[in-house]
Structure 1
Amino acid sequence: MRPAAVTAVPPADGLGGAGVQYELKLDGFRCLAFARGDRPPFLQSRTGRDLAPEFPPIAAAVAGLPEGLVLDAELVAWRDGRFAFGELLRTRRARAASPEVALGLIAFDLLALPGRDVRRLPLADRRRLLLAALADVPPPISPVLATTDRAEALEWMERLADTGVEGLVCKAAGSPYRPRGGGRAWVKYRRSDTVDATVRALTGPAARPRALVLELDDGRVLLSSPGLTPVQAREVAAVAAPLLGPATTDPDLGPVHPLTGPLRAELTLAGRPPTATFVRLRGD
């Protein structure tokens, strides 16, 4: 199941009204973990590839689970008190984690028990079975932190932001597991950071720009996404008009109007790679 993105955390009576389970959203590799007894474990990536050879400590831990257990989980790396997605990429290349890096498999759903497919059960029942199945399982496998209390989930998200927690995944407590689907039964809310950036250029017509070419203070250059609303486009066009330099044509962006003077904008950054969403022009 793949959660749909939302811009607000749903209330406890949202997503159908039968209750909501709130889980921490982690930054890692999504995978299905299959414990297969005498056969090697299988860590299925989103594309169907086996990640087990690339992460031997996780594969060894899954091999110790009862045969037939299937988990939906996030494979994560932890370094210096933070989740570190980059270490997963580095570990894949090196085939082994450095001593400073801890790997983990954080399970957030249970698809099967030995001899039993549980995907049609409500999420609340699958959660109870998941906790029971992992009750005596040591790290690096552990269940995700989850609650049905929205206020508690929001507190967790803010308190753990410095560890790299991205946001929350919110799921209808009564939802079955629907492979490759889910509709609005599962949604994800990603916390965003508000930053200032310099507008370097406008794309589209100068009188009704479509997007902004933005330079962050750390030197990264991003295109605002989604496009500007009609109200935002009019505001930006009016303020930027005295600063427009000669127009150029970009092979990917089409007409581009560089700015000859400073213009600052406030935007939100979210995701990986980051998406820059325009909020407003700054007066300073």
Structure 2
Amino acid sequence: MRPAAVRAVPPADGLGGAGVQYELKLDGFRCVAFARGDRPPYLQSRSGRDLSGEFPPIAAAVARLPEGLVLDAELVAWRAGRFAFEELLRTRQARAADDTALGLIAFDVLALPGRDVRRLPLADRRRLLLAALADVPPPVQAVLATTDRAEALAWTEQLAGTGVEGLVCKAAGSAYRPRGAGQVWVKYRRSDTVDATVRALVGAAARPRALVLELDDGRVLLSTPRLTAVQSRQLAEAAGEFLGPAVRDPEHGSLRPLTAVLRAEVTVTGRPPAATFVRLRGD
């Protein structure tokens, strides 16, 4: 099941009204883990590829689970006090040399030994998941989850520094439907509102379609999505007297660099990061 993106965390009586389970959204590789007894474990990626060879510590941990247990999970890396997605893209030798910790954070159980449980309500599957992993040590563990919306929102603030992306919110009564989640599973990605410097307008000077932004940490991003007509007009008016000669950028086309500092408020989300223009700063 793949959750749909939403801009706000649903209330506890949302998603059908039978209760909502809120889970931490982690930045890693989605993985369905099959414990197969005497046969090697299978770590299935979204594309169906077996990840076992790339992540031996996780494969070894899944091999120790009861035969027939199937977990839907996120394969994550942890380094220097935070989740580090980029470590998953390195070779296993490089991760081992840097003592990168790996984890398999399970958020659902699809099968128990001899029993397919996908049709059970999520609340029941959660209880079965916790029971199945009760005596299992790291690196396999259950995701942090709650039915208390306020508690979940507090987690996103308290754990933002560790790289937690946001929340996945699921109808407590939902069965597991492999071909889609509809609106019974949704994901809320926490965004950071930050200040940035507008370095250039993209497109026509009188009607820019985007901005080249420099964040205070030095990152340079192109604003997305396309500016609205109102935003475009406001930016053209504010930047008008500060526009330098047009230059041609091989990726973004015509740019008009600014010759003075123009500050903006933007929200930064996702991986790779994307910046959405909110407003010009009054100062």
For the aligned pair, the TM-score class normalised by the smaller chain equals: over 0.9
TM-fit CA distance, 1:204: 2.4
Ranges in structure 2 where 5+ consecutive residues have no aligned partner: none
Task: Quote the Cα distance in structure 1 between the aligned partners of 2:248 and 2:82.
Answer: 42
Q: Separation in 1 of the partners of 2:179 and 2:213?
A: 35
How many angstroms does 1:98 deviate by?
4.1
> How far did residue 251 of structure 1 move?
4.4
Matched position secondary structure for 1:53: coil
TM-score by length of 2: 0.94
Counterpart in the other structure of 1:5: 5
Alpha carbons of 1:96 and 1:196: their partners in 2 closer, same or farther (altered >3 Å)? closer
Structure 2 partner of 1:84? 84
Partner of residue 204, structure 1: 203
Give distance in 2, aligned partners of 1:39 and 1:33. 13
Which amino acid in the other structure matches residue 145 of structure 1? L
Count of residues paired in the alignment = 283
What is the match of residue 273 of structure 1? 272
Contact 1:30 1:75 (8 Å CA) reproduced = yes
What is residue 65 of structure 2 aligned with on the other side? Answer: 65
Deviations 1:161-183 (A, max 9, x none): 22221111111111111224111
Residue 108 of structure 1 and its aligned partner are, at CA, apart by 0.1
Offset, 1:14: 0.8
Tell me the alpha carbon deviations over residues 169-211 of structure 1, each in whole angstroms, 9 at most, x when there is no partner.
1111111112241111111111122222111211222222111
Could you say if the C-alpha distance between residues 241 and 226 of structure 1 is closer, same or farther in structure 2, counting changes exceeding 3 Å? Answer: same
Per-residue CA deviation, residues 66-99 of structure 1 (Å, 9 max, x unaligned), is 1111101011122233222233223x34265347
Q: Structure 1 residue 162 and structure 2 residue 161: aligned?
A: yes
- Partner of 1:36, secondary structure, is coil
Alignment correspondent of 1:120? 119
Aligned to 1:52: 52
When structure 1 is superposed on structure 2, of 14-23 and 211-220 the one drifting more is 211-220
Whole-angstrom distance in 2 between the partners of 1:213 and 1:81: 31
1:161-200 equivalences under 5 Å are 161-200=160-199
Q: Which residue of structure 2 aligns with residue 28 of structure 1?
A: 28
Per-residue deviation, 1:283: 2.6
Deviation at 1:149, TM superposition (A): 0.6
CA distance in 2 between counterparts of 1:149 and 1:63 reads 34
| Paired position in structure 2 for 1:42 | 42
Aligned to 1:230: 229
Inter-partner Cα distance in structure 2 for 1:154 and 1:98: 36
CA contact (8 A) 1:68 1:115 kept: yes
Answer whether contact 1:56 1:96 (CA < 8 A) is retained: no
**C-alpha displacement at 1:145, in angstroms?**
0.7
Compute the displacement of 1:101 (Å): 2.7
Secondary structure, aligned partner of 1:48: coil
| CA distance 1:96–1:229, change in 2 (3 Å) | closer
Please give the alpha-carbon distance, in whole angstroms, between the structure 1 residues aligned to 2:27 and 2:244.
41
TM-score by length of 1: 0.94
Identity across matched positions, percent: 81
- CA offsets per residue over residues 36-87 of structure 1, 9 Å max, x none? 1111101111222111111111101100111111101011122233222233
Tell me if structure 1 keeps the 8 A contact 2:87–2:95: no
- What letter matches 1:217 in structure 2? D
Q: How many angstroms apart in 2 are the aligned matches of 1:36 and 1:56?
A: 15
Cα drift, residue 263 of structure 1: 1.2
1:249 deviates by: 4.0
Structure 1 residue 247: deviation in Å? 2.5
Structure 1 residues without counterparts, runs of 5 or longer: none
Instruction: Say which is worse superposed, 80-89 or 116-125, in terms of deviation.
Output: 80-89
Q: Describe the shift of the 1:39–1:96 C-alpha distance in structure 2 as closer, same or farther (beyond 3 A).
A: farther
Q: What residue number does 2:212 align with? A: 213
Whether the aligned pair in 2 keeps the contact of 1:55 and 1:96 (CA below 8 Å) is no
- Aligned-partner residue type, residue 129 of structure 2: L
How far off its partner does 1:217 sit? 2.7
Give the match's secondary structure for 1:272: coil
- The CA distance in 1 between the partners of 2:94 and 2:264, in whole Å, is 42
**Counterpart AA for 2:109:** L
In structure 2, give the amino acid aligned to 1:214. Answer: L
